[in-house]
Amino acid sequence: MPSSFLPEHVAYVLLAEAGLLPPRHGTLGANLPFTPGEPIVLKGLGDELWHKSELGCVRFLNFDPARLADEAAGMRSRAEQHGHAWLEALVCERVAIQRSRDLPSEAFVSLSRTDAGWVILCGFGGLQANALAELAPPCRWPVDVVTPEQAHAEFAQHLLGRTWLGRLRDAHPLTTAADLQDFFAALWRLAASCEARGLSLLELNPVALDPSGTPRPLDAVGRFAAAPEPRLAPPADFLAALREPRRIALAGVSSQPGGVGRTILENLHRYDLPPGDLLLIKPRKPDGTRSAPTPADPEAHEVFLGLPCLPDVSELREAPVDLLILALPAPAAADVLTALIAQGGGATCVALVAGGLGDGADTAGLGARLQRLLRETRAAGRWTPAVLGPNFLGHWSPARALDTSFIPVEKLAAPAPAGGELTLLSQSGAFLLCRRSRQPELRFGLGIALGNQMDVALADVLASLATAESPGPVACYVEGFGPGQLAPFAAAARGLTRRGGCVLLHRAGRTAAGQAAAASHTGAMAGDLELERALLERSGVKFSGTIAEFDAALAWLGAYPHLAKGPVALLSNAGFESVNGSDLFGPALPEATLSAPSLAALNAALATHALAGLVSPRLPLDLTPMAEEAAYLAAAEIVLRDCAVLVVGLVPFTRKLNTSGAGAREFAARLAALARAAGKPVAVAIDAGPAYEDYRAAFVAEGLPVFDRVEHALLGLRVL
């Protein structure tokens, strides 16, 4: 079997083609480009020999062919003793290099093909590269989203880059910005060459600076590996069929109430479908009899629970549905899906409600069999449905009263019926349910609990949403990306953000224990989390650090789908809110300042409301408990001139605020009207107990996001 190892002398060919300058070199026994006595480096090359120095296969000598032959023989013996098939003895020029007086100055560069595409790593190199990386982690650049110019700018801020450029105290430059720019441009060309040649890894260690300041790779090894099979996305029309299905079939409904299938059916009854377009799949009775014919199908269908009932999916071949929900045990669901694919049609989307397909409970390998079938059928160009799940809890489209979940209606408040532009995507169904329960006022247009993503993945939904002319925000809960899913997700995020959308992501499973739990729960794949985050952040994804931050950001996006960036103002009647709010302002959350005209107007308003001398006219604005609603409204109207977003803190215990009845509703309406007139987001924070739920409800009714703390409102903004 041929080796996948790329030895140094072959790697040098790639470096030269990309515009890098490897040492002059030749193999022992060939016509070598050296003169007697010239300083050289002799290297023994063996298959899979990545660290030659550790086996004594690197010697610094003067050029003497007879001595080189003796040294090479010893290297060969040592390499073979350690299981490395001998390749060549390589003779290289000994490149003069510059060194920093106080710090290491050699670099390590690797190019690797990952789930994030090609990634370039650059940091301290040499024999102590690993130890130095703990002190100054290397730069990571996903090639698809970083340009050589951006890499150059970031490297200049790294400790090694500052060393090379002489940007440390009492240091002199070893190279120039122009030389570095050429070097990074060559690395990007090298990545393209690696892809074209079928490499998966190329390591340059060390890279040193010659006397002219040119970065020179002094060693290079790599590995060939076949590119992973491209992931085949589901049909492009799957999301439209899922969002607004015109025909639905459901298998797994029992005559006994309370079961999973029966609850799904109860929820589907609220979705407006013409008679005959909600079907049940249920085998014939044992005696082969049929119930009375129905107007929808007078000849063939049984009737069960008042709905047309088919004995199996074969009849869907000629009369397909948009959505087929299989609320069946795993083996039965696998059989139905297999039959559907074999007949070549019947449903645009198939939802697998059961688990036990590709997870820890799948002892029969059903999930692997189905995945292989889906891939082979789709690769062959034959009809293949989009498959959701396993562990598909359901999806919701509030504006259409569509609910395919098995959650009883009495257990979960109905979402805001008007819907919104926000899309909720989650690998965990329970996570999505908890968010909906905690934020019943949340306005969203589509929510999908994707489950284990055997086929349809977050990336596929995001890519479909990104095709919209003006896409809304998308909030995702992720426990891991499966093989081939990360790069498409990042590409879809870039497409969506370029069109003005926003992608919010909470990434769970960030520790070893979390990854183990995620794998047992949804089969989520562990990966290089630092690389994953680097790629996604550069693709425009916003990360929440905690679920509380995610919830806060959701509240903003539900109310204001196209939240603009800009300075934030805080207006409160409690000093502690102003102080704590000030602690959260900074580069990631800029604080608004008042212009001179606004300051003059504010002073006049404070005097009008008998607050002059009590309130300092500055932001954050602490109106004190003496402020009535009129003072709040006057101040808010002024502050809105100079901010992009306004947060209003209402500690409701003072008698100056009317917290119930018509007075509270009027204040909420007038504050919402100010926000609409200014065209700027306004949120309210009411830090109080259950006695003030009606007060909160008054602002919710006006469409304003309401938070239980000023801190949560500001943290949500900081994430976004």
* Lowest model confidence (mean pLDDT) among 141-155, 299-313, 535-549: 299-313
How far from chain centre, in Å, is Cα 491? 10
Amino acid at the residue 83:
G
Asked if 704 and 710 count as a contact pair (C-beta separation under 8 A), the reply is: no
More confident residue, 638 or 510: 638
pLDDT in tens, 589-632: 999 999 999 999 999 999 999 999 999 999 999 999 999 999 99
Mean pLDDT confidence for 408-431: 89
Quote the pTM value: 0.89
| pLDDT score at 299 | 42
Identify whether residues 129 and 240 lie together within a single domain: no
Alpha carbon distance 632, 615 (integer Å): 12
pLDDT in tens, 205-227: 999 999 999 999 999 999 999 88
Enclosing H/E stretch for 139: strand 139-142
CA distance 390 to 453: 7
In a domain, 357, yes or no: yes
- The answer to the question of residue 289 being in a domain is yes
Structure tokens at 485: 């899913």
Distance between CA atoms of residues 705 and 688, nearest Å: 16
State the CATH number of the domain containing residue 614. 3.40.50.261
pLDDT band, residue 301 (cuts 50/70/90):
low
Give me the pLDDT at residue 367, please: 92
**Cα–Cα nearest to 381, from 514, 201, 181, 232:** 232
Neighbouring-strand partners of residue 281:
251, 310
The predicted pLDDT at position 127 comes to 67
Task: Look at residues 199, 224, 249 and tell me which one is the last residue of a structural domain.
Answer: 224
Residue 13 lies in a domain: no
The residues, ordered by sequence, that sit 6+ positions from 686 with a Cβ below 8 Å of its Cβ are 650, 651, 652, 692, 695, 696, 699, 706, 707, 708
Cα separation, 48 vs 480, whole angstroms: 32
Among candidates 580, 701, 683, which has minimal Cα distance to 640?
A: 683
> Cα dist. 71→181, 190, 220 in Å?
39, 33, 21
- What pLDDT digit, counting tens, does each position of 532-578 carry? 999 999 999 999 999 999 999 999 999 999 998 899 999 999 999 99
- Residues 425 and 538 occupy one common structural domain: yes
**3-class SS letters over 246-262:** CCEEEECCCCCCCCHHH
Query: Total structural domains in the chain?
Result: 5
Looking at every residue in the chain, the average pLDDT score rounds to: 92
pLDDT > 70 in the chain, percent: 94
Q: CB 620: neighbour CB atoms within 10 A?
A: 24
Q: Yes or no: say if 484 and 431 are a contact pair by the CB < 8 Å rule.
A: no
Residue-wise pLDDT tens digits, 437-462: 999 999 999 999 999 999 999 999 99
Give the CA distances from residue 350 to residues 117, 201, 333, in Å, rounded to whole numbers and listed in that order: 30, 39, 10
The rounded distance, in Å, linking the Cα atoms of 669 and 191 is 58
d(CA 180, CA 162): 12
Confidence of residue 643 (pLDDT cuts 50, 70, 90): very high
Which pLDDT belongs to residue 229?
A: 85
Residue ranges making up the domain that contains 534: 393-563
Q: Are residues 599 and 546 in the same domain?
A: no
Classify residue 411 by its DSSP letter. G
Report the pLDDT averaged over residues 312-327: 97
| Mean pLDDT score, 34-43 | 96
CA distances (Å), 446 to each of 16, 220, 287, 394, 470, in order?
52, 50, 43, 11, 16
- Residue 525 sits in the same domain as residue 657: no
In a domain, 378, yes or no: no
* Mean pLDDT within 84-113: 94
Tell me the two tokens of residue 368: 């692997």
Whether 555 and 573 share a structural domain: no
Whether residue 522 is predicted with pLDDT greater than 60 in this model: the reply is no
Say if CB 593 and CB 642 are below 8 A apart: yes
Q: What is the mean pLDDT of residues 513-523?
A: 40
Which of these three, 38, 71, 93, is where a domain ends?
Answer: 93
**Model confidence at 526: pLDDT above 80:** no
Helix H or strand E encompassing 676: helix 661-678
- The enclosing H or E element of 701 equals helix 693-701
Map residue 240 onto helix, strand or coil.
helix
Q: Specify the pLDDT at position 455.
A: 96
Query: What's the pLDDT at 285?
Result: 58
> What is the reported pLDDT for 290?
41
In a domain, 597, yes or no: yes
CATH number at residue 220: 3.30.470.20
Residue 119 has a pLDDT of: 96
Residue 326 belongs to a domain: yes
DSSP 3-state assignment of 279? Answer: strand
Q: What percent of the chain has pLDDT over 90?
A: 85
CA-to-CA separations, 90 to 7, 44, 437, 569, in angstroms, rounded: 10, 6, 68, 66
Q: Which residues are bridge partners to 111 per DSSP?
A: 120, 202
Is there a single domain that holds both residue 173 and residue 310?
no
Question: CB of 360 within 8 A of CB of 387?
Answer: no
Q: Residue 392: what pLDDT?
A: 96
Whether residue 380 is contained in a domain is answered as no
Give the residue, 433 or 228, on which the prediction is more confident: 433
**390 prior amide bond cis, ω within 30:** yes
Q: Are residues 311 and 218 in the same domain?
A: no
Shared domain check, 311 and 204: no
Same domain, 320 and 444: no
Q: Which of 224, 243, 277 is the last residue of a domain?
A: 224
- Looking at the structure, tell me whether residues 399 and 420 fall in a common domain: yes
Residues 398 and 517 in one domain: yes
- In this model, does residue 470 exceed pLDDT 90? no
Same domain? 596 vs 694: yes
Count of residues making up the chain: 720
CB 333 within 8 Å of CB 354: yes
DSSP string, 333-376: HHHHHHHHHHHT-SEEEEEE----SSSTT-TT-HHHHHHHHHHH
How confident is the model at residue 270, as a pLDDT?
94
Tokens for 83, please give them.
Answer: 């299981």
pLDDT tier at 245, thresholds 50, 70, 90: very high
Q: Which residues contact 251 (CB under 8 A, 6 or more apart)?
A: 261, 280, 281, 282, 313, 324, 325, 326, 327, 328, 336
Does residue 384 fall inside a structural domain?
A: no
CA 109 vs CA 166, 309, 688: distances in Å: 20, 63, 55
